[in-house]
């Protein structure tokens, strides 16, 4: 189905086919025209902020009409018709055999993200949970995905390169986003240790370059998008240290940048 493919191409799990059909069946002609335009914008990677998440949430909430099942025949009922311990035991086993399906809510931090579109690539930045966290307490970081352009304002998210900053790298990211240091280079990421990222402050924008093996993708990040990225990064730091005052948190990042990061290596 085209609708499901649009979401999958952008790296987001698609709603079930039944929910998509139920959602579309209840749209008026005018509403469908709006939704179709939104889907085409998502397909091309030019949708507004939050459009994709909002549209998917509406589809996830659509409840397909239950399919009527024929009443069991007297022969089929034979084993369960009756009373007494034997009947109650079989009825209990029958209920236990039914799988209990509960919809898992989407993590709140999945909404804390932005999309940045360039001529050669697109960048998705979001707050994420650390994948290799040794602590029992949930820790957060910044996850980004960069995808190459396949046409004008259209991007191939099936060829994206994901990159997640570690707990130790998060303050370093904050330092370059806040302008305390002019550049940042991190490597040896991924199962093959072949992923790397560099961020260079060019004055008018940040140049982001992500590598995986022989593949390299880059995109300039303009000030407004850099500001939004900075907010995501600071939110992750604050969530990891809720007991620390925001001003003190910034001072620790400044200390890291003007001291350790800016100090020439011997």
What does DSSP assign to residue 157? Answer: G
Domains observed in the chain? 2-61 (no CATH), 109-261 (2.30.31.10)
Q: Which residues contact 87 (CB under 8 A, 6 or more apart)?
A: 80, 81
**In the sheet where 183-189 sits, what is the strand order?**
183-189, 195-201, 206-212, 215-221
Number of neighbours of residue 27 by Cβ within 10 angstroms: 13
Give φ, ψ of 115 to 5 degrees: -120, 140
More confident residue, 234 or 59: 234
Structure tokens at 201: 């402050």
pLDDT in tens, 48-62: 767 777 888 888 887
Write down the pLDDT at residue 199: 97
Output the pTM of the full model. Answer: 0.59
Sign of the torsion angle spanned by Cα atoms 40, 43, 45, 47: positive
Average of pLDDT values for 26-37? 82
pLDDT in tens, 163-172: 999 989 999 9
pLDDT in tens, 91-120: 455 555 555 555 555 454 555 578 999 999
Query: What are residue 183's DSSP bridge partners?
Result: 200
């Amino acid at each position: 189905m085209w609708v499901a493919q649009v979401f999958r191409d952008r790296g987001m799990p698609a709603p079930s086919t039944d929910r998509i059909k139920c959602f579309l069946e209840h749209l008026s002609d005018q509403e469908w025209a709006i939704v179709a335009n939104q889907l085409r914008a998502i397909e091309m990677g030019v949708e507004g902020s939050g459009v994709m998440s909002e549209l998917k949430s509406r589809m996830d909430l659509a409840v397909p009409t239950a399919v009527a099942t024929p009443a069991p025949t007297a022969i089929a009922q034979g084993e369960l018709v009756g009373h007494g311990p034997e009947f109650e035991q079989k009825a209990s086993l029958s209920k236990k055999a039914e799988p209990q399906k509960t919809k898992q809510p989407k993590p709140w931090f999945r909404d804390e993200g932005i999309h940045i579109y360039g001529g050669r690539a697109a960048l998705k930045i979001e707050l994420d949970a650390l994948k290799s966290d040794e602590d029992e307490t949930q820790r957060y970081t910044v996850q980004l995905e960069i995808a190459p352009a396949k046409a004008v304002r259209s991007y191939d998210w099936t060829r994206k390169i994901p990159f997640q900053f570690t707990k130790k790298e998060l303050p370093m990211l904050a330092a370059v986003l806040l302008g305390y240091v002019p550049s940042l280079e991190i490597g040896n990421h991924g199962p093959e240790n072949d992923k790397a990222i560099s961020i260079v402050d060019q004055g008018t924008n940040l140049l982001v370059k992500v590598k995986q093996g022989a593949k390299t993708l880059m995109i300039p990040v303009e000030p407004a998008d850099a500001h939004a990225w900075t907010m995501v990064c600071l939110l992750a730091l604050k969530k990891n240290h809720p007991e620390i005052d925001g001003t003190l948190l910034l001072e620790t990042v400044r200390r890291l940048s003007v001291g350790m990061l800016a100090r020439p290596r011997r």
